[in-house]
Amino acid sequence: MSIKAIQKIALFSIVAGSATAISNTYNLSWAQVADTQEVSIQFQAMVGDKAFTCGSSYSNLGIAKSSVTPTDFRFYVSNIGLIDASGMVVPLQLEQDGKWQYQNVALLDFEDKSGSCANGTSETRTQVTGSVPAGDYKGITFMLGVPFNLNHNDATLAPSPLNLTSMWWNWQGGYKFVRIDLENQKMAANDGTQQQGDSHSQYDSHHKGQRHNDQGHDHQGHTQHGAIQGFLIHLGSTGCQMEGNSQQPKFCNHPNTSTFIFSEFNLAENVIVADLAALVSESNLERNEPDTPLGCMSALNDSDCTTIMNNFGIPYQGQPSSEQTFFRIE
């Protein structure tokens, strides 16, 4: 019984228990077997050794040992595959639930609209569900982000979970693959920080027509964040080029997606942790580069993005990334 792969991944070079981030995407075909098994992959948002909860403040973050209150924590994953005993990647066929998962994309949403997360949604999602051929699996791989073929659609017309306008920039930029917003009353934003209101729709159709005051951002990352300054982390594609009168780009110079490979992952026992503290460990959350968007919104030549992109496992400003730190297995 054969497994056809459009492109294979060389897993023999991975150190056991480690995670490798690959900045480009790949495609794998579905294994043609009759027997399947249902699986549930658990995710958890953490801030160091503490679980993320809306309304909680976390201290000693970044190089300035800042205290911050997260107001959002969401991200998209896609192209999920399990690694079998022979080292082959077997794609996970996502459950098409009409809400959290569409085609090969899933939304993880850890905020619950309570406390500081008032601009979010009340429902949360901490797992990805689907099926794979029955077998023995020892590892997992997935991409952080939305595939190019789905990334540049109109969010107001897209199926859920791609209909969240709070997770979308515009046609050209596409989706915010990651949205993590932090409030920090000590934020010493320089006068040159670019700030202005958001032009996006305030209607979010993902949850029965609820209306959200989305303090979102246009593709240049301009923001109006209220009286309390903060640090915003919005990962997405940049340098997306359109041709003629088309609203959809043909390619992006900087896709800013990253593929993660964990060679050791037990479906029954392990959880994939997304760690905010590790992501910002080398960032100063109390300063902002002059004349740049607040925090890191994937813009080029923004020093506030240098270490964050690196910790996502994404090359930035022509420099390769070192080992990612955002995800780990527990």
Of 236, 72, 232, 81, the C-alpha closest to 146 is 236
Q: Is 6 contained in some domain?
A: no
Q: What are the CA-CA distances from residue 227 to residues 69, 193, 194, 204, 276 (Å)?
A: 14, 14, 15, 24, 23
Q: Is 3 contained in some domain?
A: no
pTM, 2 dp: 0.82
Q: Is 5 contained in some domain?
A: no
DSSP string, 200-249: S--B-TTSTT-B-------TT------SS-EEEEEE--EEEEP-TT-SS-
Q: Which residue has the tokens 């640090």?
A: 231
Mean pLDDT, the chain, rounded, equals 82
Q: Which residue has the tokens 């159709």?
A: 205
Q: Is 98 contained in some domain?
A: yes
Domain span at 210:
19-27+35-329
Q: What is the number of structural domains in the chain?
A: 1
- Report pLDDT for 246: 67
Q: What's the pLDDT tens digit per position in 127-164? A: 999 999 999 999 999 999 999 999 999 999 999 999 99
Q: Is 44 contained in some domain?
A: yes
Show pLDDT as tens, one digit a residue, over the chain (330 residues): 434 333 344 343 333 345 656 554 444 444 455 599 999 999 999 999 999 999 999 999 999 999 999 999 999 999 999 999 999 999 999 999 999 999 999 999 999 999 999 989 999 999 999 999 999 999 999 999 999 999 999 999 999 999 999 999 988 889 999 999 999 867 544 434 554 333 333 334 344 333 333 333 333 333 333 334 789 999 999 999 887 666 788 899 999 999 999 999 999 999 999 999 999 999 999 999 888 889 999 998 899 999 999 999 999 988 888 889 999 999
C-alpha 268 chain-centroid distance = 24
Phi then psi dihedrals of residue 150, to 5 deg:
-110, -10
Q: Is 246 contained in some domain?
A: yes
Q: Is 145 contained in some domain?
A: yes
Q: Is 13 contained in some domain?
A: no
